[in-house]
Amino acid sequence: MNQTLRDQMFQQMEQKELLSQAQNKAFDYLDNALERNVFPTEQAIENLSSFDEALPKAICNPTDVLQQLHQYGSPATVTQIGGRYFGLVNGGIIPVSLAAKWLNDVWDQNTPLYVTSPVVSKLEQVCEQWLKELFNLPQSTVAGFVSGSSMAILCGLAAARYRIFQNNNWDINRKGFSGAPKIRIITSRHTHGTVVKAIALLGFGIDNVEWVDVDDQGRIITSQLPELNQNCIVILQAGNVNSGSFDEFDEICDRANQQGSWVHIDGAFGLWAEAAEQLRHLTQGINKAHSWSVDGHKTLNTPYDSGIVLCNDKEALVNALQASGSYIVYTDNRDGMHYTPEMSRRARAVELWATLKYLGKQGIDDLVYGLHQRAVQLSQELNAEGFEILNDVVFNQILVSCGDQELTDKIITHIQQSGECWVGGSKWFDEPVIRISVCSWATTQKDISRTIQAFVNARNSTQTNP
């Protein structure tokens, strides 16, 4: 590297002026985050053209780099950290977890092994234990810290695949699929798209899935489960992505365990119901499953990139995600790469630990149940204004019917463009709906009232301008 450039960067590290500038710009963003428009204005989106430039030929002024990001980037963000973003089951961000992320970014740890980061190895170990306690899982359960529930599902099903093949005296890692015993995949017709993706990526074949019908809330109809055996992987939901409903874990897990089937529970946002005393009835029996997938960045409100796979078969998970190399130095301490597909991996557990430590059991209970309370308030007030609610609001999801597809699209577009809040569309038994996910700690009763008014204004606008 050019000595002048190296000297400049050493100077930037020592003087910390760039970090101070970034802090000031971040503080400026936070000062307006709770009241600013949720979706960017048309002007803010047009201004993104400032990034359409040729790759610079020479070194740039770092202050100019930060200024461009803040001047044109900040206004074009979607304000997910506020209280009126209700799309895609996206959580807010607990302040202490944001602060921990900043510190964590400066640490810049790579976390495959204990020897690459002893502190992260310890924090992963602590988070694993705390999560088992919160979710009432067997002590033999291990945790892998991955990017999100998409990857967590993949890991859980990979462990299931390994175990079932091993039980059939088949080494999938060495022999592959050619001539392998058949594995049966059984899941709900309302299973999440990430489950379908994992099924495809792992080579099971989507066309081979045994789909089970659901009731009017999107729960698996237990009586329609096929006969199970030791070659089955049964995939259940803790929180239907549309209605928020929960499958009957107790009964289904009992049936699966009697036949030697593997049960994976997709609990991206809903598994956290187990941590709230007044919602725990929704998750009864989850501890009888074999693997679970959950996100911290949804219900728990950690920063993004915080998925967790939990598995009550350490051997299966480790062997399914195997890695080797002469330079890999394993120790008697926790080596995180045993439980994830990645080797190079950011220290996700730092922000998760900070959030769990700060909130504790009572704070997590308050957070999770508070999201449910705001969802119930929103559904009741929408209903009072003449909007039809299609689901039982058992957790944090609300489905609103507005009639036909054209009217629904118009109302969604008006709401999004108003900047008052953000909601998205979906299909519920082929009917167009507005889907609302209440996931942020920052959502207040005032935010709910403003959201109700945004719905009313959108409906009035469509009636005035059909």
- Indicate if the pLDDT at residue 323 is higher than 80: no
- Indicate if the pLDDT at residue 252 is higher than 90: yes
* Half-sphere exposure in the Cβ direction for 382 (13 Å, CA): 26
CATH number of 100-356: 3.40.640.10, 3.90.1150.10, 1.10.10.60, 3.60.21.10? 3.40.640.10
- Indicate if the pLDDT at residue 268 is higher than 80: yes
**Do residues 89 and 437 make contact, with C-beta atoms less than 8 angstroms apart?**
yes
Predicted TM-score of the model (pTM): 0.96
Q: What is the pLDDT of residue 28?
A: 96
Strands (E), 118-178: 142-146
**Do residues 267 and 292 make contact, with C-beta atoms less than 8 angstroms apart?**
yes
Fold match between 100-356 and 360-464? no
* Residue 332 CB neighbour total at 10 angstroms: 6
Show the tokens assigned to 290: 């074999």
Helix residue ranges, H only, 168-214: 172-175, 193-201
Integer Cα distance of 196 and 11 in angstroms: 50
| Ranges 1-5, 66-70, 300-304: which has the least confidence | 1-5
DSSP string, 25-55: HHHHHHHHHTTS-SS--HHHHHGGGGG--PP
Amino acid at 264: H
- Indicate if the pLDDT at residue 258 is higher than 90: yes
3-state secondary structure of 426: strand
3-state percent helix, strand, coil for the chain, nearest multiple of 5: 50, 15, 35
Give the residue extent of every domain in the chain: 3-78, 100-356, 360-464
CATH class of 360-464: alpha beta
Per-residue pLDDT band at 278 (split at 50, 70, 90): very high
Q: What is the pLDDT of residue 67?
A: 98
Q: What is the pLDDT of residue 464?
A: 80
Q: What is the pLDDT of residue 4?
A: 86
Q: What is the pLDDT of residue 326?
A: 73
Per-residue pLDDT band at 49 (split at 50, 70, 90): very high
β-bridge pairing 232-237 and 262-266: parallel
- Indicate the Cα dihedral angle 195, 431, 82, 80, nearest 10°: 40
pLDDT in tens, 360-383: 999 999 999 999 999 999 999 999
Q: What is the pLDDT of residue 29?
A: 96
Show the tokens assigned to 336: 């995180």
pLDDT in tens, 109-164: 999 999 999 999 999 999 999 999 999 999 999 999 999 999 999 999 999 999 99
Q: What is the mean pLDDT of the chain?
A: 96
Integer Cα distance of 290 and 265 in angstroms: 8
- What average pLDDT does range 403-428 have in this prediction? 95
Integer Cα distance of 249 and 89 in angstroms: 22
Q: What is the distance of C-alpha 303 from the center of its chain?
A: 10
| Ranges 70-74, 220-224, 229-233, 403-407: which has the least confidence | 403-407
Per-residue pLDDT band at 34 (split at 50, 70, 90): confident
Show the tokens assigned to 162: 């390994």
Per-residue pLDDT band at 208 (split at 50, 70, 90): very high
DSSP string, 447-461: HHHHHHHHHHHHHHH
* Residue 1 CB neighbour total at 10 angstroms: 6
β-bridge pairing 210-212 and 307-311: unpaired
pLDDT in tens, 84-110: 999 999 999 999 999 999 999 999 999
Show the tokens assigned to 442: 């920052």
- Indicate if the pLDDT at residue 325 is higher than 80: no
pLDDT in tens, 191-201: 999 999 999 99
Strands (E), 189-231: 210-212
Q: What is the pLDDT of residue 421?
A: 96
Show the tokens assigned to 228: 């199970």
User: Rounded to the nearest 5°, which phi and psi values hold at 453?
Assistant: -65, -35
Hey, which residues does 235 pair with through a beta bridge? Answer: 187, 264
Integer Cα distance of 68 and 128 in angstroms: 40
